[in-house]
Chain A
Amino acid sequence: MKKKEFDEVEVWANFVKTHKREEWKPQLKDLIDSQIIIANRFYKNLEKTPQGKEKIRKLMNLN
């Protein structure tokens, strides 16, 4: 793995370690929540299309 990628992880981890939860948690909450909201919205739209449910099962490896 490239050293630069590891550095980015360390910079953020050190920020989390040295700052109050109130400072880093809202940033993380936005990232996590938006991913779930957007993906759920996409699946709901896909569900309404022809073979949508079958496609979702394939995407989720449920078949």
Chain B
Amino acid sequence: MEKVDDRTILEKFTEDFVKVLERHAKYIIVSGFVAILHGRSRGTEDIDIITEKLQPEKFALLHEDLIKSGFECLQSRSSEEIYTYLKDNTSVRYVKKGTYLPQMELKFARDQIDNYQITTRKKLPLTGTDFFFPSIESAIAFKEELLKSNKDLKDAQHLRVIYGKKLDELEIERVKTEIKKLRL
């Protein structure tokens, strides 16, 4: 039987982007898109992605590869200038050339929590995708302890229902403790 392609615009866009990105760096998809890929019923305009920190020359290669693959950065065309944002822990936004949305909001790992999330990254079969994510425990901890907006708390609630008793509550608390230590 023919397989139905039920991928959303966001999934196709992310597939195209990470196909390029993974040639240059390890990454994780974080924040709202994680919940949406688990069936959370809400829209979003951007996908948040964290990569390991790259040196300027390596980032220039990634940027060039993205441009060749049909993406453009909304902040600047110059990889040197884009790098100054990333170095200062500011995210930069890539779109498919000639469009405004969706946007890939890219940032470098900023501390040991981000590095830990990248080191322990995993694929999550329930999403039906081949992307890399932090652990679900980590995703929930960030939403409940750091982000805390109404939307984020609902995302966390949704993920808690989906994973139920499979969640490692001790790991959620451990990540929350790290967040308090390093981010709050």
Interface residues of A (CB under 8 A from B): 1, 5-6, 9-10, 12-14, 16-17, 21-22, 24-29, 31-33, 35-37, 39-40, 43-44, 56, 60, 62
List the B side residues contacting A39 at CB < 8 Å. Answer: 45, 100-101
Instruction: Flag whether B157 is at the interface (Cβ < 8 A).
Output: yes
Within the complex, which residue of A21, A28, A31, A40 is in contact with B101, where a contact is CB–CB below 8 Å?
A40
Sort chain B's interface into a size bin: 20 to 34
Asked whether B74 lies within 8 Å of A62 as measured between CB atoms, the reply is: yes
How many A-B pairs have beta carbons closer than 8 Å: the answer is 83
Interface residues of B (CB under 8 A from A): 4, 6-10, 36, 38-45, 74-75, 93, 99-102, 128, 150, 153-154, 157-158, 161-162, 164
Asked whether B45 lies within 8 Å of A62 as measured between CB atoms, the reply is: no
**A6-B157, A12-B41, A14-B161 known; 7 other A-B pairs, CB under 8 Å?**
A10-B157, A12-B39, A13-B158, A13-B162, A21-B128, A39-B101, A56-B100
List the A side residues contacting B36 at CB < 8 Å. Answer: 28, 32
List the A side residues contacting B164 at CB < 8 Å. Answer: 17
How far is A27 from B75 in the complex, measured between Cα atoms in Å?
34
Within the complex, which residue of B9, B41, B74, B158 is in contact with A36, where a contact is CB–CB below 8 Å?
B9
How far is A12 from B40 in the complex, measured between Cα atoms in Å?
8
Asked whether B162 lies within 8 Å of A16 as measured between CB atoms, the reply is: yes
List the B side residues contacting A32 at CB < 8 Å. Answer: 8-10, 36, 43-44
Look across to chain A and name the residue whose beta carbon is closest to the beta carbon of B159.
A13
